[in-house]
Amino acid sequence: MNRRLFFNRLLIGVGAASIVKEKAYANKKKNNSVVKNPISICTWDFKEANFQAGMALETGKDALSSAIIGANVEEENPKNSTVGYGGAPDREGTVTLDAAVMDYKGNCGSVLGVEKIINVSSLAKDVMEKTPHVILSGKGAQNFALNNGYKLNSLLTDDSKKKWMEWKKKSVYNPKTNVDNHDTIGILCLDKKGNIGGVCSTSGLAYKMEGRIGDSPIIGSGLYIDNNVGGAVATGMGEEIIKIVGSFLVVELMRNGKTPKQACEEAILRIYRKNKSPKFQVAFLALDKQGNSGSSCLQEGFSYYRYKNNINKNLKVKPIIN
């Protein structure tokens, strides 16, 4: 046998072995996955958003539609300064929104740096369903929204303008922890059919540089779902999450046998090991195919909501740094 033929046969052998492994994994998970009750989990203290997502699941809505119903609650909430309407602007005073969605088939859509459109998670779903693309940004995303019936709205509220003008006096950009500038909404839902869908929606870091995009709309960083395994969402310092492709990493760790909590912890530890004494916050939240949820965060202060069996509960997460 010549050298090339030998290597080709070797490669075919390796490929076939991993396909067999993948199929065995999927079958094993399928047999185990009896979902009696739908579940919704959501970053931070977005009680109402998670409840609405849970209610939608109870009525039989699919996972992604339910997650979007939840995300819309915070996108429309003027009091939330890190998502949608009322979100903090960039340093020039312009509010720009980012969002991503992913469904159980592995389809995804995202929008980056969108101005004057409130429901960017719905828009990301429209990108996924109505275009041949995955990502639309800026003006193009806004034009696509207008062509699909969305209305233009100013996203800057009197309150967020006041805070921005106050910030401008010193213009010191110093993102610390989650005290007042990290609160992205990430929702993962498991529907009655046992399928997972999710959303990540944000206005990004407060007073970010013009044009800055964080992890939230980047598939694999702010959000990732593999319906054979589970899903993950992220919040916190987007630059650090992007550097480890955080949500994808969490899902792959679960594929390799870690629980949702262990997988999130490992991802947080990777960030921790790269940063001597991090002053920022990062948190991951994960849900597996069997309905187990878990989370880990770098700093004190992160919690998440879990809706299950008509109970919408806030769960505090123990930080890696004490």
Site track for ligand ASP across 206-245, x = CB under 6 A: --------xxx------------------xx-x-------
Q: Which is nearer to ligand ASP, 67 or 205 (CB)?
A: 205
Least distance in angstroms from the C-beta of 96 to ligand ASP: 10
Q: Which is nearer to ligand ASP, 110 or 184 (CB)?
A: 184
Q: Which is nearer to ligand ASP, 38 or 214 (CB)?
A: 214
Our finding on whether 183 is near ligand ASP (CB under 6 A) is yes
Least distance in angstroms from the C-beta of 55 to ligand ASP: 25
Instruction: Tell me the residue type at 117.
Output: I
Site for ligand ASP in 71-100 (CB under 6 A): 82
Pairing of strands 223-226, 311-316: unpaired
Least distance in angstroms from the C-beta of 265 to ligand ASP: 18
Q: Which is nearer to ligand ASP, 184 or 296 (CB)?
A: 184
Q: Quick check: is 59 catalytic? A: no
* Count of residues interacting with ligand ASP (CB under 6 A): 13
**289 alpha carbon, distance to own chain's centre:** 17
Annotated catalytic residue, options 43, 184, 202, 235: 184
Task: Tell which residue, 285, 104, 65, has the closest CA to residue 194.
Answer: 104
Residues at the contact surface with ligand ASP, assessed by CB under 6 A: 82, 182-184, 202, 204-205, 214-216, 235-236, 238
Active site residues: 184
